[in-house]
Every structure is written in C-alpha cells, then in structure tokens.
Structure 1
Amino acid sequence: MSEDGTVRHAAVIARLRRDVIAKQPVDERERQSLSAFVEAFDQLEEPFEQESNSIHVTGSALVVGPRGVVLLKHKRLGFWLQPGGHIDPGESPWAAALREAREETGLEVDFAGPLDSEGVPDLLHVDVHPGGRGHTHLDVRYLLDGGDADPDPPEGESQEIGWYDWEAAVEQADPGLEGILRFLQRRGPDLQK
C-alpha cells in the first residue's frame, strides 16, 4: 500500500462493489436498491466522500440483542432509524457503521458473527434513499451485537433512542428498514446465522 492509502482505498471500493453485487435481497425494495447502488457507485470517482458528490456511500448498523433492535430519532430529519452516517477519510463503510453505532448509542457494540480473513463482516442490507441537504445515500448496513444494556448516547447525539421489539420496530422505523427488520425477526435470536 502507498503512504497515502490509495491501494487500500481502491481495495475497499472494489470489495464493497463485490459484496453489493453478491448480496441476495430480502425484499423488492432492497432488490431495487442493489441495482441503483451499482449504477450510481460505478459513476463515482470518490464514492465515500460526501463533499465530492451529492450521491455517496454511508455506513449504518442494525444493533440487535435479546431486547430486539435499537432505533433512534434522527435529530434533523425527525424519523426513526438505525445508527449510521457518513464515512470519515480513510475509513471503510463497515468501520464507519461500527464507529457511528458506538458514537450514537453509547453502547459497547461489536460485529455480530465472524469476520472474514480480511477482517470484513458480512454485508447485511443495502438501501438507497434521499439524505439531508438534497443528497442521495447509498447506505450499506452491517449487523452489530448491542448486548442488552440501555443506550446512553453522549450529549450532542439524539437522546430519543431505545430498544424496540421486532413488531414495534417495524411500526416505528423508516420504511427502508421494514424488509431487513422482518428478515432479522424471522431469523431469530441467534446472531451467528
């Protein structure tokens, strides 16, 4: 890898594209998102840079545990969703999902399930949706184990946050989460599957 990280950056971009192409959709919305993701992603010079294009990749986490799933109310947009956000320079989407979940929930979360030989978790879900400020987010989502502690977000993060059982989460959450929440609900409590 070069000192500026360009080889690693190119490898992360290539890896993410492969993971998205290999992803089996959980519903029609994800099927459409997968297609839209690849079409947009292939046009982007810097897919992780929010300032380089109004279309960019974001990393999110489905934080699950014995109590269900963690949802938070977005401070600006006003709807309930999973923790996640923009990717910092030099960060992978999966690292961004982990960092954002820790920052936004105050929980000691970690990836649920094993990592592959490159230290990458399985891609759980893809959703393409409008973001704030006229942006389009190519959101890639990873499964995190949140244990069963109460969320304790720091000041500056949304304080409207909590555990939801599966049915309550489907009812409360943004529609872009419905398919993956129903999939996880059917899959049961074993996060290793």
Structure 2
Amino acid sequence: METTRHYTATVYVVSDGAVALHEHDGLGKWLPPGGHVDRDELPHEAGLREVREETGIDADLVAERDDIGSPTVDPLPKPRHFQLADVNVHGEFVGHQHVDLVYYARADTREIDPAEGEQPADAWRWFTSEDLAATDALDPDVAETGARAIETVSG
C-alpha cells in the first residue's frame, strides 16, 4: 500500500503570554489551529486562513523571510518547524501523513469567535508556559512548541 501525504500548515497563536489550543473533535488531542493547504494557497496563507476560520482571530505571523529574490522569485515567511506527522496508522503501516509547516503568530485579542461549522469557542483554551508544563493532557511536541512560541512572540 502507498502512504498518502498532504501538506498542512499549523499556527501557534500567542496573545498576552499564552497560546491558543483546542481539543480536536476527531483526534481527541489538544492542538493549535491548522489544516490542509489548498491547491491555490501558499502554506503561510493557509495557516492564517485556518486561524481566522477556527478562532475568528486575525493574527500576524512572526516569521523571517530570506532577503534573496528576483523579478520571478519572492521570499516566503519561513516556518519555525517542518514536521512529518503520522495521521492514519494501521499496525506498522502508515496510511496517511501530514507534511506540516509550523508557524508562530501574534494576536491582539484572546476572544475566540469561530466561523460557522468550526468547533465552538468553549473548545478553546489559552495555555501559559506554566500551564503547558503542568499538564499531561498535551502531546510533548505540542507542549514544547507552544512554550517556544510563547517565548519567541512574547520575548
């Protein structure tokens, strides 16, 4: 069997020293906003779209860009992390994976107002660095990346 891979973009949104995570309906895990990159999107655009849809927040990416370009080449915001996530595992066979570009972003509000069809506002919680360290409800990569996002954006 062949492993299917999709490109995704994830954004750790930080506001006032805390990162927004929600308990994902289908996966039963606490995760930041994110999702698949559509065919007509660039990864950073997909990440910001997912943030708007899932949280209602207009966030600003905290990302460097290369200074190399030309009339036919534009530098894009660099993800902070580039990861491969197993999504659909059957014994030793991985049926589906996400090639995930992970970004950090800053928000001026903690008011969550999801778009219609998204998980409700009460599925979201703002985690401080202390909260991330004190709970075992998060996958280790989510806790570590959340802490790094808070340090980078708030720092």
TM bucket, shorter chain? 0.7 to 0.9
Alpha-carbon contact 1:104-1:154 (below 8 Å) kept: yes
Q: Counterparts of 2:131 and 2:85 in 1: how far apart (Å)?
A: 22
Residue in 2 that maps onto 1:161? 124
Change (3 A) 1:114 1:131: same
Q: Counterparts of 1:76 and 1:123 in 2: how far apart (Å)?
A: 25
Q: Deviations over 1:29-85 (max 9, x none)?
A: xxxxxxxxxxxxxxxxxxxxxxx9612221110111214101011121111001101
Residue in 1 that maps onto 2:25? 75
Higher relative contact order (CA 8 A, sep 6+): 2
Q: Deviations over 1:72-116 (max 9, x none)?
A: 111211110011011111211111111111111111112125655
Matches within 5 A, 1:33-112: 54-112=4-62
Which structure 2 segments of 5+ residues have no match?
68-73, 90-94
Residue in 2 that maps onto 1:136? 97
* Larger helix share, 1 or 2: 1
SS in structure 2 opposite 1:58?
strand
Q: Counterparts of 1:111 and 1:98 in 2: how far apart (Å)?
A: 8
Alpha-carbon contact 2:9-2:37 (below 8 Å) kept: yes
SS in structure 2 opposite 1:85?
strand
Q: Counterparts of 1:141 and 1:184 in 2: how far apart (Å)?
A: 10
Alpha-carbon contact 1:105-1:151 (below 8 Å) kept: yes
Q: Report the RMSD for the aligned CA atoms in angstroms.
A: 2.5
Q: Deviations over 1:9-36 (max 9, x none)?
A: xxxxxxxxxxxxxxxxxxxxxxxxxxxx
Residue in 2 that maps onto 1:121? 77
Alpha-carbon contact 2:12-2:149 (below 8 Å) kept: no
* Larger strand share, 1 or 2: 2
Alpha-carbon contact 1:127-1:176 (below 8 Å) kept: no
Alpha-carbon contact 2:14-2:153 (below 8 Å) kept: no
Q: CA deviation at 1:148?
A: 2.4
Q: CA deviation at 1:178?
A: 2.9
SS in structure 2 opposite 1:131?
strand
TM-score relative to the length of structure 1: 0.62
Deviating above 6 A after TM superposition, structure 1's stretches of 4 or more consecutive aligned residues are none
Alpha-carbon contact 1:61-1:98 (below 8 Å) kept: yes
- What number of residue pairs does the alignment pair up? 139
SS in structure 1 opposite 2:154?
coil
